[in-house]
Amino acid sequence: MKNRNINDLLDYLDRSPSPYHAVAESAVRLKKNGWQELSEQDSWDLQADTGYYVIRNGSSLLAFNTGKLMPSFTGFRIITAHTDSPAFRLKSGKLKESQGVYKTGIEVLGGPILSTWLDRDLSLAGRVVVKTEKGIESRLYRKDDASVMIPNPAIHLNRELNQGFEYNPQSQLSLLITASGGDKLQSVHQLIAKEVNLEEDAILDADIIAYDTQKASLTGWNKEYFSSGRIDNLATCHAALEAAVSVSGQDAVTLTALFDNEEIGSRTPHGADSAFLEHVMERIVLASGGIREDYLRSCPASFMISADGAHAVHPNFAKLHDEAYAPVLNGGPVLKVNANWNYSTTGETAAQFRLLCRGAGVNCQSYLNRSDLRGGKSLGPIAASRMGIPSVDVGNPMWSMHSIRETAGVSDHQDMISVLQCHLRQSGK
Ligand code: CO
């Protein structure tokens, strides 16, 4: 069982080089389990004990199981996670010839550890928007093989490199593309069009990021860990989906929200700081025969677990942690607490999560920043504040968060799935 989950996670990570792919892959898994897609533009006729999902922008997905369709009495059991990861996003794909190769400019999306993106076997993924007879259509695009690169300068020509080097994203992090043998190229879109058998000018626009083609893998002497790009936060998306599809017949409506754009602050029409979640929750209540008051009553009766990555203590950098709050890999899920509400955890919601861990037979660790460090944040406070839903921020411990290759613990992943299952199964308050 354990290995099945982990191999399945590695597969999920490999199939999800961009948020669009993560959502498409999540939808495939939900569909396989009999969940049905709903459109926000249609009227909803919901059945009890049935799974549904809704997609916005191709990059955010809300999945819910209706249970006994009594949200106002039981509240919702909610899990949130995010589909995006720090990356390099192609500007518009315009190419410039330089020293015998092409270059395309990038924007830094979110906060990656920039240096980890150099000297890797990179490729491109995202979506292209093409003109069809019916209008414009978005299509997933992914080039599987290593095809673009950002080489470092040689150390001999840049002796300062190991003293701490500041890369300039405008001039030093352009993607190099070696497209030989063809006509003069203006844009990456021409290359993509050719590859997917479209007319050269068929691609009107695109949302493309670079990704690392190295596959997710088990690591550690006894394969206790796994490493991959995008563990923050696709590992949690996977755990949330695994939990969601394994729970049925419960009283409460369960809801799994996988949001895009956490890495850039969530304020987009499909991010956690949009009305997506509240619209879907209210519509579930209305489709269950309730009125708006029932929806408003359901919010304080709900419980949300905002699950994201957590910082495992690093043996070479242990001083970056408060030693009393230094989670280790494979030590179990981590409660994240912050006085300034970078996390949504309160004493009460933390207590509730501890009970869930106890119920799942799983160890619970906790993380607070060193008091002289600012630390990170997550989407929990944003999503919880909009609707007044009691919420807790948690996550699995990992090393190298926001590196192009992160590392996390195998048993933590299984533990997170177990705790999330307990959370979704809880009926009533
Ligand atoms: Co994250």
Measured in Å, residue 308 CA sits from the centre of ligand 1 at 5
Higher pLDDT, 185 or 286: 286
Measured in Å, residue 423 CA sits from the centre of ligand 1 at 21
Cis amide linkage into residue 168, ω under 30° from 0: no
Measured in Å, residue 379 CA sits from the centre of ligand 1 at 8
Measured in Å, residue 275 CA sits from the centre of ligand 1 at 20
pLDDT, mean over the chain:
94
3 band by pLDDT with thresholds 50, 70 and 90: low
Measured in Å, residue 194 CA sits from the centre of ligand 1 at 35
- Quickly tell me which residue has 């292209």 as its tokens: 128
Measured in Å, residue 286 CA sits from the centre of ligand 1 at 32
- Quickly tell me which residue has 């990992």 as its tokens: 398
Nearest residue to 284 via CA among 303, 263, 298: 298
Task: Say how far apart CA 206 and CA 199 lie, in whole Å.
Answer: 15
Measured in Å, residue 213 CA sits from the centre of ligand 1 at 21
Q: What is the mean pLDDT of residues 250-257?
A: 94
> What is the percent of the chain where pLDDT is above 90?
86
Measured in Å, residue 86 CA sits from the centre of ligand 1 at 9
Predicted confidence (pLDDT) at residue 427 exceeds the cutoff of 60: no
Give pLDDT, residue 181.
62
- Quickly tell me which residue has 């160890």 as its tokens: 363
Task: Say how far apart CA 121 and CA 124 lie, in whole Å.
Answer: 11
How many angstroms from the chain centroid is the CA of residue 421? 19
Measured in Å, residue 397 CA sits from the centre of ligand 1 at 11
Task: Say how far apart CA 261 and CA 84 lie, in whole Å.
Answer: 6
Nearest residue to 9 via CA among 226, 271, 296, 276: 226
Predicted confidence (pLDDT) at residue 178 exceeds the cutoff of 90: no
Task: Say how far apart CA 77 and CA 253 lie, in whole Å.
Answer: 6
State the CB neighbour count (10 A cutoff) for residue 205.
14
Measured in Å, residue 204 CA sits from the centre of ligand 1 at 31
Between 26-30, 192-196, 216-220, 417-421, the lowest mean confidence (pLDDT) is in 192-196
Measured in Å, residue 98 CA sits from the centre of ligand 1 at 36
Task: Say how far apart CA 27 and CA 59 lie, in whole Å.
Answer: 11
Task: Say how far apart CA 188 and CA 177 lie, in whole Å.
Answer: 9
Measured in Å, residue 312 CA sits from the centre of ligand 1 at 14
Q: Give every CB contact of residue 347 below 8 A, 6+ residues apart in sequence.
A: none
How many angstroms from the chain centroid is the CA of residue 4? 21
Burial code (b: 16+ CB inside 10 Å, e: under 16) for 389-418 equals bbbbbbbbbbbbbbbbbbbbbbbbbbbbbb
DSSP 8-state class, residue 263 = G
Measured in Å, residue 377 CA sits from the centre of ligand 1 at 8
Measured in Å, residue 132 CA sits from the centre of ligand 1 at 36
Q: Structure pTM? A: 0.96
pLDDT digits (tens, 9 = 90+) for 18-42: 999 999 999 999 999 999 999 999 9
Predicted confidence (pLDDT) at residue 47 exceeds the cutoff of 90: yes
Q: How many CA atoms lie within 13 A of 74 on its CB side?
A: 23
428 band by pLDDT with thresholds 50, 70 and 90: very low
Q: What is the mean pLDDT of residues 62-79?
A: 91
Task: Say how far apart CA 237 and CA 381 lie, in whole Å.
Answer: 18
Task: Say how far apart CA 10 and CA 340 lie, in whole Å.
Answer: 35
Measured in Å, residue 236 CA sits from the centre of ligand 1 at 9
3-state SS class at 134: coil
Measured in Å, residue 272 CA sits from the centre of ligand 1 at 13
Measured in Å, residue 79 CA sits from the centre of ligand 1 at 14
Q: All domains of the chain, ordered by start, with CATH?
A: 2-85+229-425 (3.40.630.10), 87-212 (2.30.250.10)
What DSSP element (H or E) covers 102?
strand 101-109
Give pLDDT, residue 5.
86
Quick one: how many helices (H) and strands (E) in the chain? 10, 19
Q: What are the tokens at 168? A: 């300039």
342 strand-pairing partners: none
CA angle 327, 331, 335 (to 5 degrees): 55
Give pLDDT, residue 312.
97
Measured in Å, residue 263 CA sits from the centre of ligand 1 at 7
Give pLDDT, residue 70.
81
Measured in Å, residue 45 CA sits from the centre of ligand 1 at 34
Nearest residue to 255 via CA among 383, 351, 358: 383
Measured in Å, residue 70 CA sits from the centre of ligand 1 at 32
Measured in Å, residue 310 CA sits from the centre of ligand 1 at 8
Measured in Å, residue 307 CA sits from the centre of ligand 1 at 9
pLDDT digits (tens, 9 = 90+) for 279-329: 999 999 999 999 999 999 999 999 999 999 999 999 999 999 999 999 999
Measured in Å, residue 47 CA sits from the centre of ligand 1 at 34
The answer to whether 63 touches 98, Cβ cutoff 8 Å, is no
Predicted confidence (pLDDT) at residue 391 exceeds the cutoff of 90: yes
Measured in Å, residue 336 CA sits from the centre of ligand 1 at 13
Task: Say how far apart CA 82 and CA 232 lie, in whole Å.
Answer: 8
Give pLDDT, residue 39.
98
The answer to whether 208 touches 109, Cβ cutoff 8 Å, is no
Give pLDDT, residue 374.
87
Task: Say how far apart CA 178 and CA 401 lie, in whole Å.
Answer: 31
Predicted confidence (pLDDT) at residue 117 exceeds the cutoff of 50: yes
State the CB neighbour count (10 A cutoff) for residue 148.
25
Measured in Å, residue 82 CA sits from the centre of ligand 1 at 7
Q: Give backbone dihedrals phi and psi of 37, rounded to 5 degrees, phi first.
A: -85, 140
Give pLDDT, residue 185.
85
Measured in Å, residue 234 CA sits from the centre of ligand 1 at 9
